[in-house]
Amino acid sequence: MFKKHLDFEALRNLNSNSMGDHLGIEFVELGEDYVIARMPVDHRTTQPFGILHGGASVALAETLGSIASVLTLDDPTTQRAVGLEINANHVRPVSAGNWVFAKATPLHIGRTTHLWDIKITTEEQKLVCVVRFTVAIINAR
């Protein structure tokens, strides 16, 4: 399903100087129909009480889902993947000093919209957040 026009180095470069880079998001695995990234739970991603901020979870999910959509495009120089709608259910807190992992899998890949199921877990595979993310595919200007 994914086009192989981006490798891990290209993903890192695409993520540089962006919110994902600022939050420490790293891509760790690229499968046939899924992509996995991780994010540290640290001073950049926690709320004042030392646990993962829900907004950081949403930023992780949107970063991952957007990149996953780019990986399905025939020509990413003529099209863009942009967030259209996101819904997140936060299940459990994660303390600073840990990592969270997000896995994006497609629910629908259409011509103009993509729908991603994104699950964020702890290193021990405990569910942290469930996200549904809709991406619009638009023409690049």
Question: Active-site residue numbers?
Answer: 62
What token pair was written down for 95? 């303390």
- The 10 Å CB-count burial string (b at 16+, else e) for 91-118 is eeebeeeebbbbbbebeebeeeebbbbb
> Which residues is 104 bridged to in the sheet?
35, 118
